Chain A
Amino acid sequence: MTTYIAPVRDMMFVLNELADLQEVGALPGCEEVNPELVESILDEAGKFASEIIAPLNASGDRQGSRLEKDGAVKSPEGFKQAYRKFVENGWGALSCPPEFGGQGLPQIVAKPVQEMWKAANLSFSLCPMLTQGAIEALVHHASPQLRETFLPKMVSGEWRGTMNLTEPQAGSDLAAVRSRAEPEGDHYRIYGMKIFITWGEQDLTGNIVHLVLARLPDAPEGVKGISLFVVPKFLVNPDGSLGRRNDLQCVSLEHKMGIHASPTAVMAYGDKEGAIGYLVGQPNRGLEYMFTMMNHARLAVGLEGLAISDRAYQQALNYAKERVQGRALTQPGAGRVTIIHHPDVRRMLMSMKSQVEAMRAVAYLTAGYMDQAARHPDKTERARYQGLVDFMTPVVKGWCTENSIEITSTGIQVHGGMGFIEETGACQHMRDARITTIYEGTTGIQANDLIGRKMARENGTTLKVLLEIMRADQAKVARVSDPDFNAIAASQNAGLDAVAECAEWVVKTYHQDPAQAAAVAVPFLMLIGTVCGGWQMGRAALVARERLAAQEGDESFHKAKIKTSRFYADHILPRAVAYRHAVVQGAEDALALEENQF
């Protein structure tokens, strides 16, 4: 099984040259953040990912997590030890607030590290990731007492958190949540059934802190009547030690297409006396609290698309360099060659590589925006960056995860017949990637969010700002007289025109007939992602050119960057034109049939 090697060089290139690590380092609370520190963090995290987490990916997939007779869940072999090391080494606390024992590092550092965990072993990474979400919810909304009780151990990783939103009848539509909470003294009794609870039950940590959405008896109907509760697996005594088992239980694990090692639990609350829960923040504001974490969670899933694509690329590349098959087209007499000599294999690898690099740049750029939005001393700047974060989040989520389906599939294709054989390991990446376009909001939901809240509601203001930035950067590429740069600039220009036209169409149409806009929201989202990718690849090429001219750094890396950018401009970015067509011409087509005509 090929292992995973963290792409620290490309990560550092993106951080230093494209995503403004330096500027984040200038923000309050980020004084320690500099390229040297970040590189040593990435080096060590990369080592941990390669040597401890990645080796459990395939075995975890084969074994899966299993439900035992007593409702306990047994994680795959090695997960417990790996998780313990993960906690001991402090990785779970990287971006957590220092007052609860975290390192307080910014997102621009956290995201590359998360990418490594996800690429190494997506199932494993979900355990700390959801804890992260639960921590954020408690930090921002819970009472000091709840924070004191739960946060230090969640930050250290000794306990972990889950998010309990979905119910059988309430999936994408959380307004339909029916779980109920009945007040009893200083706490509540929770009753209800939750499904799709990632790592809802496990044997990695001593306690599990469930965050559960439920309705109070007097709550109004719909989304405004949902409250958020902390419901620990074991109650916590006043001295911090673990008390008795709460009335909640994992009653089943789903049998899934992928991420087998990550137990997806059906959780039953209050089958007996009612599970004891504590209200987080104000009553009826649970969904709102959940939304504050949404950007982080959605960006994190976008990162999964990137991560698993990179893993699939590494796997395909290693295979292509080793597998001897056929003869070179140009030198048929020269004996059998490794398949990387075949032009179509080259094309596939370039397609994977260029998209991975484009996604990485866009994702890290967005992480940098998050830090600016959270920490910039100037309020107006914070708001400006928040606008960019809000706009980019559904794009990164939707575009990176949709790409990952294509890229992991290409990874299988590179392998030929062996790719279809599970033992080779290429299949797992595709199976694992498949959930990413679905959970934390399907691509359709991301796209609706994009055209509605992030576009129509503000008449496309943020996108106009972004377009201006992209136009200015395109002009820099266009000024370079070099065939590669000319080609990149031309393709960028076509993409930007497409975005401008579609943006206008979306805003206008949304106000007149939202269904029409929604019918082409996904192509619109893909258009934005694809063009942003082309924007960043163009910037990367410009930086690489400067470095080459100054004879600085890794010559081969920088030359490859320019050629990879060119490939993206010629093979990937032209998709923008097709997306444009679908957006401005195709909405009615999508809605043309009556239901009974399908």
Chain B
Amino acid sequence: MSVLVIAEHDNSALRPATLNAVTAAAQLGGEVHVLVAGSGCGAAAGAAATVAGVAKVRTADAPHYKEQLAENLAALVVSLASGYSHILAPATTFGKNFLPRVAALLDVAQISDIVSVVSADTFVRPIYAGNAMATVQSKDAIKVITVRTTAFDAAAAGGGGGAVEAVGAAADAGVSKLLGQELTKSDRPELTAARIIVSGGRGMGSGENFKLLEALADKLGAAIGASRAAVDAGFVPNDYQVGQTGKIVAPELYIAVGISGAIQHLAGMKDSKVIVAINKDMEAPIFQVADYGLVADLFQAVPELTAALDK
């Protein structure tokens, strides 16, 4: 039996999430096939064929796949489903949107957002916003799965030599259409919505020195925050303040620079996924919550860090 991965792509190239899904698929046993459904999607299909571990790319090229509408995509996948033991897609808004339709039409359960493959029918997935991990076993003939991309490494792109095979398009459902897209421009993000935050404390010494953090933040696409001490000292405006009386944040990465870690500050950021502390005082309480602590002079370490990100 083979495994089918539904590619996320923009017709000309694969989206990186597809590569993580391929890695998960490869752990299931059996040949990995990738479906590239789109319009004028030959380039994306070609790219998929070069991904390590992909035996075959099936491509459905028709105008009504251009917009990746869930109704059409699901119908196509269902028409190709027989012969596959597993159907996977990345757990992105793309995969989450259409794959449950596939499962329902096949009358099988979907296993959402898996973070590891235990065996061909058993998977681990987070529940309760990641506060618990459930190991679930599917009793269905076909396992329909979305894959948490951060839990699987990306398969190597390029170098592989899978075959490309065209498949017939399913009918256009014609019940929905895309009117437009508006993709976010990447200025510096909002503090509360940022994936990464670089925050400075009294150790920054002055408002001028926050430029060091700006350079780092620009490199990371991060927002800039501050401790109350830094705000009170007038280094930065009020709306930078992270903490009990400021903003409560929980980014994926929080880099605390020159922040000692007063309890009010910790209350505002302790739910961050990964916390980095850079402080020259090795006794600073911030190190108690930091995943990675660097005891160093920030005026050396921050520029060094900014530079190291280019490598």
Q: Would A and B touch once assembled, by the CB under 8 A criterion?
A: yes
Interface residues of A (CB under 8 A from B): 1, 58, 319, 322-324, 336, 418, 423-425
Chain B CB count within 10 A is highest, among A1, A58, A424, for A1
- Choose one: B244, B266, B285, B288; the contact of A423 (CB below 8 Å): B244
List residues of B (246-289) whose CB comes within 8 Å of A's CBs.
Answer: 263-264, 266-267, 285, 288
CA distance A587 to B65 in the complex (A): 93
- Choose one: A324, A336, A424; the contact of B264 (CB below 8 Å): A424
Let me know if B264 and A423 touch, CB within 8 A.
yes
**Interface assignment of B119: CB less than 8 Å from any CB of chain A:** no
Closest-CB distance, A62 to chain B (whole angstroms) = 9
Let me know if B263 and A323 touch, CB within 8 A.
yes
Closest-CB distance, A242 to chain B (whole angstroms) = 38
Closest-CB distance, B277 to chain A (whole angstroms) = 15
- Choose one: A1, A323, A324, A336; the contact of B244 (CB below 8 Å): A1
Closest-CB distance, B232 to chain A (whole angstroms) = 10
Other contacts beyond A324-B288, A423-B228: 11, CB < 8 A = A1-B245, A319-B263, A322-B266, A322-B267, A323-B263, A336-B288, A418-B263, A423-B245, A423-B264, A424-B244, A425-B244
CA distance A323 to B245 in the complex (A): 17
Residue pairs across A and B with Cβ atoms less than 8 A apart, 5 shown, are A58-B245, A322-B266, A424-B244, A424-B264, A425-B244
Closest-CB distance, A552 to chain B (whole angstroms) = 27
- The 6 lowest CB-CB distance pairs between A and B, nearest first, are A1-B244, A423-B264, A323-B263, A423-B245, A1-B245, A324-B288
Closest-CB distance, A443 to chain B (whole angstroms) = 34
Number of A-B pairs whose CB atoms are under 8 Å?
Answer: 19
Q: A residues within 8 A CB of B288?
A: 324, 336
Closest-CB distance, B261 to chain A (whole angstroms) = 11
CA distance A1 to B285 in the complex (A): 19
CA distance A336 to B263 in the complex (A): 15
Closest-CB distance, A398 to chain B (whole angstroms) = 34
The digit string for B140-180, where 1 denotes a CB below 8 A from any CB of A, is 00000000000000000000000000000000000000000
Let me know if B245 and A322 touch, CB within 8 A.
no
Let me know if A322 and B244 touch, CB within 8 A.
no
Q: B residues within 8 A CB of A58?
A: 245
Q: B residues within 8 A CB of A1?
A: 244-245
The digit string for B207-244, where 1 denotes a CB below 8 A from any CB of A, is 00000000000000000000010000000000000001
CA distance A373 to B289 in the complex (A): 57
CA distance A431 to B285 in the complex (A): 30
CA distance A324 to B288 in the complex (A): 9
Closest-CB distance, B265 to chain A (whole angstroms) = 11
CA distance A425 to B264 in the complex (A): 11
Q: A residues within 8 A CB of B244?
A: 1, 423-425
Closest-CB distance, B78 to chain A (whole angstroms) = 43
Q: A residues within 8 A CB of B264?
A: 423-424
Instruction: Name which residue of chain B comes closest to A59, CB basis.
Output: B245
CA distance A223 to B288 in the complex (A): 65
Chain A CB count within 10 A is highest, among B244, B263, B267, B285, for B263
Closest-CB distance, A77 to chain B (whole angstroms) = 13
Chain B CB count within 10 A is highest, among A323, A423, A425, for A423
Closest-CB distance, B92 to chain A (whole angstroms) = 32
Closest-CB distance, A564 to chain B (whole angstroms) = 27
Closest-CB distance, B245 to chain A (whole angstroms) = 6
Instruction: Name which residue of chain B comes closest to A336, CB basis.
Output: B288
Q: A residues within 8 A CB of B267?
A: 322
CA distance A425 to B244 in the complex (A): 10
Instruction: Name which residue of chain A comes closest to B285, CB basis.
Output: A324
Closest-CB distance, A45 to chain B (whole angstroms) = 24
CA distance A324 to B285 in the complex (A): 9
Instruction: Name which residue of chain B comes closest to A415, CB basis.
Output: B263
Closest-CB distance, B46 to chain A (whole angstroms) = 53
CA distance A360 to B266 in the complex (A): 33
Closest-CB distance, A345 to chain B (whole angstroms) = 15
CA distance A424 to B264 in the complex (A): 7
Instruction: Name which residue of chain A comes closest to B264, CB basis.
Output: A423
List residues of B (85-104) whose CB comes within 8 Å of A's CBs.
Answer: none
CA distance A423 to B244 in the complex (A): 9
Closest-CB distance, B34 to chain A (whole angstroms) = 47
Closest-CB distance, A343 to chain B (whole angstroms) = 21
Closest-CB distance, B117 to chain A (whole angstroms) = 36
Q: B residues within 8 A CB of A322?
A: 263, 266-267
Closest-CB distance, B231 to chain A (whole angstroms) = 12
Instruction: Name which residue of chain B comes closest to A1, CB basis.
Output: B244
Closest-CB distance, B288 to chain A (whole angstroms) = 6
Closest-CB distance, A355 to chain B (whole angstroms) = 26
Instruction: Name which residue of chain A comes closest to B228, CB basis.
Output: A423
CA distance A58 to B264 in the complex (A): 14
Instruction: Name which residue of chain B comes closest to A421, CB basis.
Output: B264
